[in-house]
Structure 1
Amino acid sequence: MLLEADTLVYDNDADTVTAVGGVQIDYGGNKLVAQRVTYDRKSGRLIASGNVALEDGTGTKVFSEKIDITDDFANGFVNALRIETADKTYFAAESAERKDGFLTTFNNGVYTACAPCEENPAKPPIWRIKAQKIVWNGKAKTVRFENSRFEFFGQPLAFLPAFEVADPTVKRKTGFLIPGVAYKSDLGVGFNIPFYIALAPTYDLTLHGRYYTKQGFLGMAEWRQRFDNGQYNLKIAGISQKDPDQFGFNTVDGGTVGDPKKLRGMVGTKGDFAINPRWSFGWDILAQSDKNFAYTYGIPGHSSFVQQSQVYLTGLNDRNYFDMRGMRFQVQEKFLDGNSSARSEKQPWVLPSVDYAYTPDAPVFGGELNFDVNARVINRDRFDGSSAVPAVRGVEATNSRLTASAEWKRSMITDAGLVITPMFDVRGDVGQGSTTSGSVGAINTMAHNLSGLEYSQDGSRYGTVASEVRSAYNRFMASAGLELRWPVLFSSTSSSHILEPMAQLFARPDEPYGGTLGIANEDAQSFVFDASSLFERDKFSGYDRIEGGTRANIGFRYAGSYENGWTTNALFGQSYHLAGTNSFSEPDLVNAGAYSGLETETSDFVALAGFASPAGLSASVSGRFDEQTAELRRAELKAGYAASLFSINAKYTFIQAQPLYGFADDRREVSLGASTRFNENWKVFGSGTYDFESSVLVRNSVGFSYDDECFSYAMTYAETRDRDTREATQKVGFNISFRTIGDFGSDTSSFGSN
């Protein structure tokens, strides 16, 4: 024991020792501060008085005018005390008694996790629990309240005869969690009661019982386990639906067909493990009775509209990168029109996809050398397409491809500041595929429909396209390129500007098998030509298509910075097909180049401009314009402002019709989102998306929230509408969170996020 005091008084007759004035005692991790402490040798008790403060080894602090405790600090009695724990929770009581070093009983006590108001300590906290008796069991890690009432802003809300919660220091303890409630128009009002089972320090089980007023009882269980090098979970859910027809339907021959199936469910698991500092392994797998089960019922972790199940192995070391994964895609749509099976599997299996990249540390002939390898095997169960719209997204087949490429480039700067970068690239592909009668029929239909349809925007047409299904192929492509950049700096006392004219030339042979519909295009379907892709050597988004022919890209880039913190940027340019066959005018199974702006010899103009300010204001506009008429083909406008109390962002998108690419009509859409804080704690927010072509407010939401160090509340209302049927789905959500007590409502942990 370490004792400090101004004066020590020994009373041999009473067998006491009294420390007076600035007393400080440190014993066994316990610290006691008081004006006066008397130690009774006979009873072994310490009686402290005068601004007493006691702190134990856990960081819990006790404040009182008088404390009577044993000399080992295990037992004691206190009048008119308040306690502050290390987790910033607070107890107060008329009196308290401590036994056996872990059991504390508060008489006429108060508990809260809200810090006292500094300006007015007597002001009631946002919430508190008053109880005739509070029993804090430090060994069992529980706090029990007897004859208690819950107060909110000083007003009583509920009377609770008895209830028990976990010790504020406990992160994991078996017991019921706070219930949840949510509303979704398809499902009705949902109630969720979770029960948590802490089986061991490294694994646990959570059981959920949900009841939906329109669909009945849904049960769910989640197992979680942690290891030194990673973790995994397993989730199971199932329901016997009261109203199966509400789950999904299809229209066949103009009628509505109900689905009689009642039993539905899912199994999902996720895992991630670090094999060593360079390698990691993991998975995200979902199996379900219906393609939209997890999305409809908002199963946490599996409720994305596009669910990607995968198993992966990834390695990263210095400038080496390896990634191998098997993938399965599921679009969790509610129903499909015009199809006899609402749950037909159209999305592919990818078994596997492999990527490898390596860049040697040492320069090669003074430049940088890069190696890339990509391989993939894809299997699709059935043909996905429509004779009405000649855009086949995939065919019933199994096909594989192996691609290897090497690129070398070196930048040299002349005395005049011109940056000259020669580039060389070689690439080889080996492909193989199996076809079925369905895939052959789909390709033949595609070829027939393409033979007489308008394709490019200048009025030219496809020629006759011969259908050819290849079971094996190999391709080789070599290209030589030269890039010239001449950055010029303009500066003044208050700003600096860099204008950089730029030109590229790539010479290469025609694309092997260009215009052949029998070679699948699986990973180069999402193709957009804009300012960001103007100076790409190969503008296709994936490996299945190769850009061929000789092409030049010309434009300029601009960047400016100002003394007041503002920045500006811009880009403008055009691409020119100089020789050979233009790959973007050649059809494939998805018409990736159709209406792209690159299908003509002289491309559309692409441009981008933007600015940003230190005050949080930023905006950008980008577009693609017809090379002859300057007609707008594609545009995107973004603007935003972010400050401490207010933020807003807006986005407008326009895409001209692309019939052969699967979009028969123009697309125009605007999105707006904003939030504002009235003060430090209150916030209001909302968002909306409007489709101009279908005149539908596709989705909108509004909400408000309050949050501080001990309490948070959020309320949201959201609607989504189908662009064609205008059918609306509503969702109401709210969440109340009391720190250390728990959450109540429809937060994402209990009801998903969709």
Structure 2
Amino acid sequence: MTRAPAFPFRLLALAAALSLGAGLAHAQERRPQARPTEPAVLIADDVTLDGARSLTASGNVEAVWGEQRLKARSITYDRQTERLTIIGPLTLDDGEYTTVLADAGELSRDLRNGILTGARVVMDDQLQLAANQVSRTEGRYSQLYKAAVTSCQICKEGDDPLWQIRARRVIHDAETRQLFLEGAQFRVGSVPLAYFPRLRLPDPTVERLTGFLTPTLYNSTLLGTGVKVPYFIRIGDDKDLTLTPYLSTETRTLEFRYRQAFRNGGIEFEGALTDDDLVRRERRAYLFGRGVFSLRDGYVLRFDIESVKDDAYLVDYGYPSKDRLDSEISIERVRRDEWRRAALTYFHTLRGNEVNTTLPTSVGNIDYEKRFFPTRLGGELRFSAQAHGHYRSSDLRTDGPDVDRFADGRDVARLTASADWMRSWSLASGLQASFRTGVAVDHIEMRDSAPTTRSQLTDATPSAALTLRYPLAKTTPGGTVHMIEPVVQLAWVGGSTPNIANDESTRSEFDEGNLLSLSRFASADRRERGASAAMGLSWTRFAPGGLRSTLSVGQIVRDRTQREATGEQTFSLSSGLRGTRSDVLIAGQIATQNGLTLTARSLFDGAFDTTKAEARAGWRNAALDLGATYIWLRSDPQEERPGTISEWAFDGSYRIARHWTGSAEWRYDVASDRNVSAGVGLTYTNECIDVTLSASRRFTSSTILEPSTDLSLTVGLRGFSARTEDKSYVRECKK
């Protein structure tokens, strides 16, 4: 036997490759489908040759075969048996997501078959399988005998992990990426809690596989004590179904979710079926669905379905908290200079003070808008058209107990067409001017309307507006940038308010977005008339450190008050638009470099009393996500608000420590001096477990709702089809 002296790194790699190349190439001819085309490469500090039969590499040994990489203290290759005898500690990496650590082993030359002793298998850097012996077959199956499975960090030899599954035998199928366990025993620490003769689990790389998901325990004063156990069914690569039985002392509920992807879109449906003790002799259910599809010529089809069997069901079970349901199907196409849309919508109210028969439950809309850029005239020519209709199931020609004083059964059809020309100029000293003029034609017909109003109307409304802006900018020596822009708009809209029911524009808002609009009504059945002037000022400041602040002020002055034919003002008390002079709008925002944002908007009347106010504060960083909202609305019978609304809302989460995160939310009615709802939660997370405990309380009550308290506990084992993207939760071993 001869011993080769140490060679340079590259020369050793070449020598080892030539030594193994012939035998491996022969193996490739026999089973080319299971072998990579390139030869194996062996790298080591020392190489010992025993004639033509064996080769022994030692010292920083590394063998590479395709995507597989083997590192060991010593490797001996027997050309006659075509086997590798390995002395560890050794590391075998499959090139994808599995790493095997072992004390010693014997493998085939392609590293696909053999036995490893004292082995530990690590999958996707989180799930660990330890066993006395691991048998590899065809590079696909790994059999572990007397194995322990866990994703918990083990710092001291002999210590028990937080949880583990011990099994007589574990088989890992690398192709299907599943674990098959025989004689499995689930343990918390050293305490056995459950036994499974056979158990199948996904490995950490699986995203969709049929099986149970994380269960949740619930306790509710309304629904009793129970458990939810989701079961995911993978129907195919393009569709799946999740069934979640919810069993408690007060309810038997089956929740479901179905998803399917198509070549040009997708659909998703969710809902539940319930037999509970809250509503006797009546089964409860809800169904929500949505979908979107891309059609030919750039059209997009969308639909959504929202249906519930009784008004309190969604709130009782904590499902989507909507008090008005809308189901819609629409088709739309958006291009650079054209927009088309057609939609049919059905509304259903769950509010106790509303009746579906007197609400416009069926609504249809067809919208079209087109832009042209005439070269001789300059500017932009815009044409738009809309067809709208809504239907009430009631046919009453008299008024019920509401605030509009019109017939409860009226149905409306409206056609609107408009043409506008717009052009902008940059004048001397940076002054920006824009001019707009156009005409709109509305045709409205009503059925079952009150005798005091017209049943049909055709009206033409001309308009014109001139807008002047003067943007100014300054940079201070310290690098702070100030931008100030005053703006004035002089506008005129012809015609007068028609004697026809206000059925679409019953709510109006005054904010920064419509300061320069010619009409601030929600729809074309009402338009602002006469001459007006809109004045505004905006200031923006950018600091070098990242601090940004904005402030906007605006007001509108008109030559006349907007009134109905009855003499009543069209705009409501809280809209900020009543009379000839609107309320003063003040809005601002502050954003800092450390994640703090403050946003506020308010309307002030002539005496500088608040008409409407809202504010939002948020602070977000690596450990904190906090938000607070305040809203104040004055009483307004015209908007069906008999009392003042003043309410605080808080929500947030804080990472208390490395593994602990707390959360809380609270709504408080200042006007009534009472709580609306509150909730707290606490989550513990590490590399192998998620535990969430939450409690919530609803304080409000009504004819269909009762106050309730809910508790929930969710325990999830990490490592099975749940990749740990955030490594900051992983525990570290103390040195």
Shorter-chain-normalised TM-score: which range? 0.7 to 0.9
Residue of structure 1 equivalent to 2:23: none
Secondary structure at the counterpart of residue 367 of structure 2? strand
- Aligned residue identity for 1:504: Q
- Aligned partner of 1:474: which letter? T
Q: CA deviation at 1:588?
A: 11
In structure 2, the partner of 1:736 is 715
Distance 2:634 2:701 in 1: 18
Query: Is 1:229 equivalent to 2:264 in the alignment?
Result: yes
136, 140, 161: which one pairs with 1:102?
140
What is the count of residue pairs matched by the alignment? Answer: 679
Deviations 1:183-220 (A, max 9, x none): 443322342233333333223333332223223x2234
2: CA distance, partners of 1:609 / 1:237:
44
Q: Distance in 2 between matches of 1:590 and 1:599?
A: 7
**Helix, strand or coil: the match of 1:211?**
strand
Opposite residue 75 of structure 1, the aligned amino acid is N
| 1:292/1:331 contact within 8 Å kept | no
Counterpart CA distance in 1 for 2:603 and 2:566 is 22
Q: Which residue of 2 aligns with 1:686?
A: 664
Number of the residue aligned with 1:354: 366
Match in the other structure for 2:608 = 630
Q: How far has the Cα of 1:670 moved from its partner?
A: 1.8
Q: Deviations over 1:632-666 (max 9, x none)?
A: 22222333333333343322222221123211222
Give the letter for the 1:737 counterpart: G
Which secondary structure does the structure 1 equivalent of 2:575 belong to? coil
- 1:402 partner amino acid: L
- Aligned in 2, Cα 1:654/1:167: closer, same or farther, shift over 3 Å? closer
Look up the match of 1:265.
285
Sort the Cα spacing of 1:76 and 1:511 in 2 relative to 1 into closer, same or farther, 3 A: farther
Question: Is the 1:391–1:661 contact (alpha carbons within 8 Å) kept by the matching residues of 2?
Answer: no
- Contact 2:307–2:325, Cα closer than 8 Å, also in 1: no
State whether residues 127 and 151 of structure 2, in contact with CA within 8 Å, keep that contact through their aligned partners in structure 1: yes
Work out which of the residue numbers 563, 578, 594 in structure 1 matches 2:559. Answer: 578
Structure 1 range deviating more: 415-424 or 97-106: 97-106
Work out which of the residue numbers 54, 60, 66 in structure 1 matches 2:92: 54
Matches within 5 A, 1:662-677: 662-677=640-655
Counterpart CA distance in 1 for 2:160 and 2:421 is 71
Whole-Å Cα distance in 2 between the matches of residues 98 and 736 of structure 1?
34
TM-score, normalization by structure 2 = 0.83
Aligned mates of 2:425, 2:154 — CA distance in 1: 66
User: Hey, what does 2:439 align to over in structure 1?
Assistant: 426
Report the CA distance shift for 1:202/1:534 in structure 2 as closer, same or farther (over 3 A). Answer: closer
Helix, strand or coil: the match of 1:731? strand
- CA distance in structure 2 between the aligned counterparts of 1:224 and 1:178, rounded to whole angstroms: 19
| Whole-angstrom CA distance in 1 between matches of 2:406 and 2:688 | 52
Task: Name the SS of the counterpart of 1:196 in structure 2.
Answer: strand
Structure 2 residue aligned with 1:401: 414
Match of residue 461 from structure 1: none
- Provide TM-score, normalisation by structure 1: 0.81
- Report the equivalent of 2:29: none
CA offsets 1:235-272 (integer angstroms, 9 cap, x no match): 5642333341xxxxxxxxxxxxxxx6412334443222
Asked if 1:525 is matched to 2:506, the reply is: yes
The answer to whether the 8 A contact 1:5-1:20 is kept is no
* 1-structure distance, mates of 2:407, 2:91: 74
- Structure 2 letter corresponding to 1:367: G
Q: Is 1:605 aligned to 2:584, yes or no?
A: yes
Shift of 1:468: 0.9
Q: Check 1:530–1:3 CA distance in 2 against 1; reply closer, same or farther (3 A cut).
A: closer
Note if contact 1:698-1:723 (Cα within 8 Å) is conserved in structure 2: no
SS in 2 for 1:416: helix
* Counterpart amino acid of residue 137 in structure 2: K
- Is the contact between residue 5 and residue 21 of structure 1 (CA under 8 Å) also seen in structure 2? no
- Give me the whole-angstrom Cα distance separating, in 2, the residues matched to 1:52 and 1:568: 59
Cα distance, 1:714 vs structure 2: 2.5
| Residue of 179, 182, 185 corresponding to 2:221 | 185
Query: What is the alpha-carbon distance in structure 2 between the residues aligned to residue 667 and residue 378 of structure 1?
Result: 30
| Distance (whole Å) between structure 1 residues aligned to residue 57 and residue 278 of structure 2 | 77
Q: Name the stretch that deviates more: 138-147 or 414-423.
A: 138-147
Partner AA of 2:345 in structure 1: M
CA 647–128 in structure 1, closer or farther in 2 if over 3 Å, else same: same
Q: Residues 432 and 114 of structure 1: is their aligned pair in 2 closer, same or farther, counting only changes over 3 Å?
A: farther
Q: Could you tell me whether the CA contact under 8 Å between 1:531 and 1:622 is conserved in 2?
A: no
Query: Which ranges in structure 2 are unaligned for 5 or more consecutive residues?
Result: 1-38, 723-735
Would the alpha carbon gap of residues 402 and 187 (structure 1) be closer, same or farther in structure 2, given more than 3 Å must change?
farther
SS across alignment from 2:638 = helix
CA distance in 2, matches of 1:35, 1:394: 92
User: Which of 491, 497, 500 is the aligned partner of 2:485?
Assistant: 500
- CA apart distance, 1:418: 2.4
Which one-letter code corresponds to 1:211 in the other structure? L
Aligned residue in 1 for 2:306:
286
Residue 295 of structure 1 contacts residue 305 of structure 1 at CA under 8 Å; is this kept in 2? no
> Equivalents in 2 of 1:638, 1:11: separation in Å?
79
Identity among equivalent pairs (%): 23
Alpha-carbon distance in 2 for matches of 1:105, 1:171: 23
Aligned residue in 2 for 1:142:
178
Alpha carbons of 1:585 and 1:392: their partners in 2 closer, same or farther (altered >3 Å)? closer
The answer to whether 1:379 aligns with 2:415 is: no
Matched, 1:596 2:575: yes
Q: Provide the rounded CA distance (Å) in 2 between the counterparts of 1:545 and 1:560.
A: 38
Mapping of residues 709-720 of structure 1, within 5 Å: 709-720=687-698
In the alignment, does 2:484 pair up with 1:484? no
Q: Classify 1:740/1:316 alpha carbon distance in 2 versus 1 (closer, same or farther; 3 Å).
A: farther
Determine the structure 1 residue equivalent to 2:594.
615
For residues 101 and 730 of structure 1, the distance between their equivalents in structure 2, rounded to whole angstroms, comes to: 54
In structure 2, which of residues 448, 459, 463 is the aligned counterpart of residue 475 of structure 1? 459
Tell whether the 8 Å contact from 1:654 to 1:669 is kept in structure 2 after alignment: yes
Contact map agreement 1:313 1:324 (CA 8 A) in 2: yes
Q: CA deviation at 1:697?
A: 0.9
Looking at structure 2, the residues matched to 638 and 64 of structure 1 have their Cα atoms a distance apart, in angstroms, of 57
Q: What is the CA–CA distance in structure 1 between the aligned matches of 2:115 and 2:495, rounded to whole Å?
A: 92
